[in-house]
Copies of this chain bind each other. A is one copy, B any other.
Amino acid sequence: VQNPNDIKISFKHQHRVQFYETDMMGIVHHGNYLLFFEEARVGWAHAQGLLDYQKPESASHFAVLETWVKHMKPAFFGDELEIAVQAKLEGVRLTFEYKMHCPKRQDQLIAVGRTSHASLSKELQVMRPTPEMRQLFKEIADRNVWIETWLSNL
């Protein structure tokens, strides 16, 4: 049964599992999930106008503070995975949540995760988001609902 919360999450990233992402267990190696989440996060930022592929240095200004991944089912070579994303900015901390499904296998839930990030100065120190970024996130928050319970009861 689909979580009614999922209906409100509009951004979805697709990832086709590659042979080089498998390991000798015959499944996707767990180390790749953070890479898939990064793809989804970058795709989301690009869709929101936060990231300009012509000015890639903008993506370099965010550090990863913390990551969490929970694995429900294995993923396999050739799987076309779908990753839904939600994001919020609180103080200096930018938080992303992820839900990864496999549509071809009865929309099975493969994994969920959360990553948090902060702006970095060139000296690699955490710094407060600029007013421009804060304004941008306010507009994003107006367009996108953050669902506190999205990853609950899984």
Contact B67 A38 (CB under 8 A): no
Q: Which of A24-64 contact B (CB under 8 A)?
A: 24-27, 29-32, 34-35, 38-39, 42, 53-54, 56-57, 59-60, 63-64
One digit per residue, 1 when the CB lies within 8 angstroms of any chain B CB and 0 when it does not, for chain A 12-29 equals 000000111011111101
Which secondary structure characterizes the binding site on chain A?
A: mixed
Say which size band chain A's interface belongs to: 35 or more
- Which stretch in A3-11, A71-79, A81-89, A136-144 binds the other chain? A71-79
**Extra 10 A-B pairs, beta carbons < 8 Å, given A24-B56, A66-B71:** A19-B24, A19-B59, A22-B24, A23-B23, A24-B25, A24-B27, A25-B120, A30-B64, A54-B78, A65-B70
